Amino acid sequence: MADIEDLSRRRFLGITGKLGLSTLVAQAVGIKLGMVDIVSAQTGKAAVTPFRFAIISDAHLYSEPGHKFDAQLEQAVAQVNAMDPLPDFVLFGGDVAQNGTEDQLVKGQKILSKLKMPLKVIPGEHDWYLDMGTAWRGLFGDETWSFDHKGVHFIGMNGILVEDFWTPAGMSPKERMTVMEMLESPIPGPWGVHAKQLEWLKKDVEKLRPDTPIVVFTHGPLWDYYPRWNFQTKEAPEIREILSKFAHVMSFHGHVHQTVFNKIGNMTSVGALSTSWPWPYPPVTKPFPESQMNRVDPSIATDGMGTQFVDLKGDGFGIYQHVPFEEGVLTDFLQKGVKV
């Protein structure tokens, strides 16, 4: 799997190679060790070096040159680049493109390349269903990944896989994409990560210590918020079960274009603001109604959109802070930052 810390890890292995034993053990068992892992192995308690990372999500870029959503993604990049302290890296939560065309994905990559820090990306349905991920993979790499950073294990998965409805119907790629572009389409049904990624997840975490803080990143929420709009991930119960051995799991997701918080067992879950437009709140009661942002003002073109960052502390817990483009949309609960 791609690893955001490849460079630093190689540097680490080079340094510790002089120490001998730790490097030999690490290489022999094939475990990706970082400095924090060595510290925790010595103390018997997981340790996190406090750090910040940012989340940008749901740009939905159109092909039209100079489309307003281009400028909104630019604004998000500028907002993250101006954060103090700077995030160590940025996660992008899916839907770079609106119609899945290569030009839209390339445009998104070009804008996101202006970030000062490394970027990790997962796909959304708008990125995927024109060519089943071919262009996306060519630009952003594997859609399933994990890496360790300062004592925290990060996992990204492709959570927008649906059953094949297009082959029996004889649909063209464009027709398939059109179906998937519509949030409330009656055709695709619930999406998820499917069996292969579940197997990957089991193996990815099997050797991790239970006190390792986990961040899992998917396009849709890992709970049944509103399946009608795919505000869900079909295999969320299985994912939560696989991750149930850990003391603390943080699930962050895009797709909902709104603030929403939940807590299930050992997992906290937070939804990201988009850079394109805010989705309405669905007609269901939320487990934490206070996490609903104020009503968006349609006369303000970028109201209810923005970016977010997470400050993780030494104990592996953190604060998730939405950073809207416009003031006034965050409730008191949200302004304080959401504890994750």
Partner 1 sequence: MKLDGKIIRRVVTVSIGASALATALSASAYPFSKEELAEQEAALLSAVDKGYHLWHGSNPAMTTNGLACGNCHPDAAAANPQTFPKYVPMFGKVVPFREMVNWCILNPQAGKALDVNGEDMTAMEAYAFYLHRSKPIEPGLAARQTAPIVVDSGTGYPRKPTGIGVDK
Binding to partner 1, residues 95-124 (CB under 8 A): 98-99
Q: Verify binding: residue 280, partner 1, rule CB under 8 A.
A: yes
Of 76-84, 165-173, 215-223, 323-331: span binding partner 1 (CB under 8 A): 165-173
Count interface residues toward partner 1 (CB under 8 A): 35
Task: Identify which of residues 135 and 179 has a Cβ nearer to partner 1 in the complex.
Answer: 179
Amino acid found at 52: R
Task: Identify which of residues 191 and 309 has a Cβ nearer to partner 1 in the complex.
Answer: 191
The correct pick among 188, 192, 220, 316 for binding partner 1 (CB under 8 A) is 188
Q: Verify binding: residue 333, partner 1, rule CB under 8 A.
A: no
Q: Verify binding: residue 301, partner 1, rule CB under 8 A.
A: yes
Q: Where are the beta strands (DSSP E) in the chain?
A: 51-56, 90-92, 119-121, 145-149, 152-156, 214-218, 249-253, 261-264, 267-271, 306-312, 318-324, 338-339
Task: Identify which of residues 16 and 292 has a Cβ nearer to partner 1 in the complex.
Answer: 292
Task: Identify which of residues 281 and 317 has a Cβ nearer to partner 1 in the complex.
Answer: 281
**315 and 48 in contact (C-beta within 8 Å)?**
yes
Say how many C-beta atoms besides its own lie within 10 A of residue 88's C-beta. Answer: 17
DSSP notation for 51-105: EEEEEE----B-SSTT-HHHHHHHHHHHHHHT-SSPPS-EEE-S-SBSS--HHHH
Q: Verify binding: residue 228, partner 1, rule CB under 8 A.
A: yes
Taking the chain, what is the end-to-end CA distance rounded to the nearest angstrom? 26
The correct pick among 30, 44, 65, 298 for binding partner 1 (CB under 8 A) is 298
Task: Give me the phi and psi of 156, to 5 degrees please.
Answer: -125, 135
Q: How far is the CB of 228 from partner 1 (least distance, A)?
A: 6
Q: What is the CA radius of gyration of the chain?
A: 20
The correct pick among 11, 45, 68, 202 for binding partner 1 (CB under 8 A) is 68
Question: For the stretch 281-298, what's the b/e string if a residue is b when 16 or more beta carbons lie within 10 angstroms of its beta carbon?
Answer: beeeeeeeeebbbeebee
Q: In the numeric block, which tokens belong to residue 149?
A: 């950073």
Q: Verify binding: residue 65, partner 1, rule CB under 8 A.
A: no
Q: Verify binding: residue 317, partner 1, rule CB under 8 A.
A: no
Distance CA 244, CA 299 (A): 44
Task: Identify which of residues 191 and 252 has a Cβ nearer to partner 1 in the complex.
Answer: 191
Going by their DSSP bridges, the two strands 267-271 and 261-264 should be labelled as: antiparallel
Task: Identify which of residues 282 and 337 has a Cβ nearer to partner 1 in the complex.
Answer: 282
Of 131-139, 193-201, 234-242, 274-282: span binding partner 1 (CB under 8 A): 274-282
Q: How far is the CB of 106 from partner 1 (least distance, A)?
A: 17
The CA-based diameter of the chain, rounded to the nearest angstrom, is: 64
Distance CA 10, CA 25 (A): 15
Going by their DSSP bridges, the two strands 267-271 and 338-339 should be labelled as: unpaired
Of 41-49, 178-186, 209-217, 325-333: span binding partner 1 (CB under 8 A): 178-186
Binding site for partner 1 (CB under 8 A): 62, 64, 67-68, 98-99, 162-163, 165, 168-169, 171, 179, 182-184, 186-189, 228-229, 277-284, 295-296, 298-299, 301
